Every structure is written in structure tokens, then in C-alpha cells.
Amino acid sequence: MILANILPSNYTFSAVIKSCSELRAFNTGKIVHCHVLICGYGLDSYVQAALVSFYAKFSNLGIARQIFDKMPEKTVVAWNSMISGYEQNGFGKEAIQLFYLMQDSGVKPDSTTFVCLLSACAQLGAVGLGCWVHEYIVRNCFHVNVVLGTALINMYTRCGSVSAAREVFDSMEEKNVVAWTAMISGYGMHGHGSEAIELFSKMRGHGLRPNNVTFVALLSACAHAGLVSEGRQIYASMTEEYGLVPSVEHHVCMVDMLGRAGHLDEAYQFVKDTIPKEPHPAVFTALLGACKMHKNFDLGVEVAEHLLSIEPENPGHYVMLSNIYALAGRMDRVEKVRNIMIRNRLKKEVGYSTIDVDQKIYLFSMGDKSHPETHVIYRYLDELMSRCREAGYMPASESVMHEVEEEEREHALRYHSEKLAIAYGLLKTSPGMPIRIVKNLRMCEDCHTAIKYISIVANREITVRDRLRFHLFKDGLCSCQDYW
């Protein structure tokens, strides 16, 4: 068309930019953007919306936002593209903030807006906003199709309300395999393995064929609930009954399931005999976690050293190996591993926790003092932990560096991100109101123990969603039954 000297229209550019997104043709898309500017369509709302979506898909959120901000008239499609871009790239907080701007601008959201927004709420555990979205959908008589319904299920399960998710699931007129899988996955995350398997049976009874993702959800549910024999049967049916080829995710789930249950020899044999070629590092990471859990130091060291040979730049492997050496009393090896990390400038991933208070997200990291009410939060947390001490809590000081003094270890443990977030939540919410926290990493053993006691002395239900699963703390007990 260009060679024929035919001038493209705004519809032409919109279509071509969309094609570049679908084909992952980033360089071509940038060339088309140049043509857009040359031909004078730089301020066309259709073209700008297409460009926002294009750059957001390639994680160029800075450029996407620049284009978005310059749009003289922002359509709901443009707002959705920018909100979706933030959510898909892990910037849930920014997605929610942009939605509030959308409301202020007077643009009415549509179903796509809500799907994007619910995904952001799920990512951050923003249950307050998620419930408001659900109420808005009902109040304005939006049709809850399978996509929107699935988004609601994901939001509720990832915000800690599996019962609300099931209500949405049961009310849906149409359910595809994605919706069934979302509900099965939700049960698994909350440790309800039997419910996940029962729902899978109902799904098959409705004639739906499970896919690879369904089996990941099922195997993960079995791993978190200790349903080893059921997990073995499900894994076998995946290949024998449905002809599906297991992927890395299925292998990780199986090793995790066997390892958590203490079947370390079987897990190791599974890795050697079942997985073709060189197993993915994630498989060995799952096995390593099980070795640490069951204090099998010999196998743990072997697995950790193998991981370091295939992923020498991953700081998480060094941290795990250091922890295993420390638990085994090999402090000379601990020092050696940490010196290697220092020499190679490797740092472990920074942990942080978020809490939703009055539909606003607050983020805390370990020892964080950026909050304007830091002094009040720390003083309250100190009082809280003193009350926990009186109730019988003892800090699990082996959760931190072994070469520092006991008093320093306790100080380091006290100000972990989830404890700070919980303290803030207790300060800012009404008595008896549940507290919900989202953490980006696995919760440490000390925090798990401490939050049990906090649930007693504060008389609150506390839900923590970490990288692996949900923990509901109530009356000094956790829903995971210390199996996580």
C-alpha cells in the first residue's frame, strides 16, 4: 500500500498496529508509529488507543503512558488498554489508581474494564475494591459472562474468600474449562484439596475435557493438602486417560507433593526416572525446599550444589544452601556461601507485604520506615509482640542469620513486612474485622508462628497469601495445619 503511494487512514494504522501486537513484531510496530507521526495521525484517538495497547503489551509502560496522557479524548478502549497494561506487567497498584482517574473523568467502565480491574485486585489482594466492583456489576445489571465470572472467581479466591468465589461460580449460566479450573485452583490455594478433587469429578460429569492447566491446579491442590495417593492417580490419568504430555509445572507439583509428604526418596527417583533430559531448575528447587522442611541435609546439599551449577546467578539457591548448612551446624560452609554471594554481588529478592485499608493499598518491606505513621506502627508492634511473648510465643531465631547475636536476630525477625502490615491493619480497622495480607515471598517460620499468637491476643482472623498459598489464622491455629 505504501509502495503504491496510497495514504493510510486512521483505520489502516489501527489495524496494522494491532497486527504488530499479535505477531510480537515490536520493531515493525515502531516503524509504523513513525509513519503515524509523518502522516499526521499522532493525535487520532483510535490510533493512539492502538499504540497504547501495543507498547503496554511489550512492557514499554512509560511510552504507553506518554501517549495515553497526550490523548485529547480518551475512549473507554484507551483506558482499558492502559489499565490492562499495568495489570499484565505486575503494576496492580498503578492500574487501580488509573481506574480512579477514569472515574473522575466521567468515562463509564465496561465489562473489559472490570475484568482488568478485578485482575489487579486479585494481584494485590484488594478485596475492598473487588467487592465494590462486584456490587457495581450487580447494581448496573451487567451480564456476567464466562470471562467476567472467571475474573470474579479469581479475585475472590486470591483475596481469601473461597466461599464468595463458589457463589459466583454456582451462579454462572455458562461455565467453560477455564471457569472450572479457576474454581479448582482456588480450592487448592486454600488447602481444600478434597473439594478441588470433588469439583473436578463434577466437571468431568458435565462432559468438559480438562486441559494442562486444570491438572496443574489439581496436582497443586493435592500437594497443599497432602493427598499423595490421589495426586499419583491424577498424574497417571493425565497421560493415560487424556493423552496430555506433562510439562515443567506438572513435574514441579509432583515433586512438591511427594517432598512435602516426606517421600524424598520417591521424589528424587521421580526426578531421575520420569523427567526426560535435564529437569528444569524449578523441579530441583521444589525438591530442595522439601529437603529443608524435613531436614535431609545430605540430599539437600547435593540438590543445592546441582542447582548452583546450572543457575549460578540465582541468589535464592545460595540462600537456601546457606540455610541448610546452618541447620546442619556447618557454619564454616555458611560463611563460605555468603562470601560467594558478596563477591558476586548477589542479593536475595526483597520481600514486601501489602494490605488493603479503605480501598487503598499500603506496602511494607522489612524494617520499612517510609510510612508517615512509622513511629506509631512500630510502637504498637512492639506492644503486640510483648503480649504474644506473654502468651507463649518464642521467636524462631534460626530463621535469620546464624552469626549474629540472639538479641539482633529477634530484632530482625520482629520487623518483617507481614508483621508491619498486620500491625497497621489492626491499628486502622474496627475490632473484629478480618485482616488480609499479601506477601510476594514465602512466609518464614517465625512469622507463621507469631501470627498464630497475634490472632489470639488481637482476637482477629488474619489471612496471609504468600507466594505458595493461603494461611487463615484464627484462635491460634492456621488453616494450613503447619503443612506448607
Cα 224 to Cα 353: distance, rounded to the nearest angstrom: 22
Give the N- to C-terminal CA distance of the chain in Å, as an integer: 60
User: Which pLDDT tens digit goes with each residue over 79-124?
Assistant: 998 999 998 888 888 999 999 999 999 999 999 999 999 999 998 8
CB 264 within 8 A of CB 299: yes
- pLDDT greater than 50 at residue 415: yes
Query: What is the separation of C-alpha 7 from the centre of its chain, rounded to a whole number of angstroms?
Result: 46
Task: Yes or no: say if 127 and 438 are a contact pair by the CB < 8 Å rule.
Answer: no
Q: Is 313 left (phi over 0), alpha (psi -120 to 50) or beta?
A: alpha
* 437 residue type, one letter: I
Whether the predicted pLDDT of 197 surpasses 50 = yes
pLDDT tens digits along 306-331 = 888 888 888 888 888 888 888 778 88
- pLDDT score for 144: 92
Q: What pLDDT, on a 0 to 100 scale, did the predictor assign at position 378? A: 95
pLDDT surpasses 60 at 406:
no
Angle, vertex CA 479, rays to CA 477 and CA 483, nearest 5: 100
Closest CA to 318 of 337, 335, 334, 293: 337
Span 457-483, pLDDT tens digits: 999 999 999 988 889 999 999 988 787
* Residue 400 pLDDT level (bands cut at 50, 70, 90): low
pLDDT digits (tens, 9 = 90+) for 177-187: 999 999 999 99
- pLDDT value of residue 334: 85
**What's phi and psi for 153, nearest 5 deg?**
-60, -50
Residues in the chain, total: 484
Write down the pLDDT at residue 407.
47
Task: Give yes or no for a contact between 100 and 84, defined as CB atoms under 8 angstroms apart.
Answer: no
pLDDT in tens, 431-456: 999 999 999 988 888 999 999 999 99
Residue 409: band (very low, low, confident or very high) from pLDDT cuts 50, 70, 90: low
Q: CB 34: neighbour CB atoms within 10 A?
A: 9
pLDDT for position 89: 87
420-423 long-range contacts (CB < 8 A, ≥24 apart) are 420/353, 420/364, 420/368, 420/377, 420/381, 421/353, 421/354, 421/355, 421/362, 421/364, 422/355, 422/451, 422/454, 422/462, 423/377, 423/380, 423/381, 423/384
> Which residue bears the cell 503480649?
387
User: How many CB atoms within 10 Å of residue 171?
Assistant: 10
Once rounded to an integer, what is the mean pLDDT over residues 226-255? 95
**Cell triple for 433:** 474485622
Asked if the model's pLDDT at residue 430 lies above 90, the reply is: yes
Mean pLDDT value across the chain:
90
Name the percent of the chain lying above pLDDT 90.
Answer: 67
Sign, Cα dihedral of 292, 296, 302, 303:
negative
- 3-state SS assignment for residue 106: coil
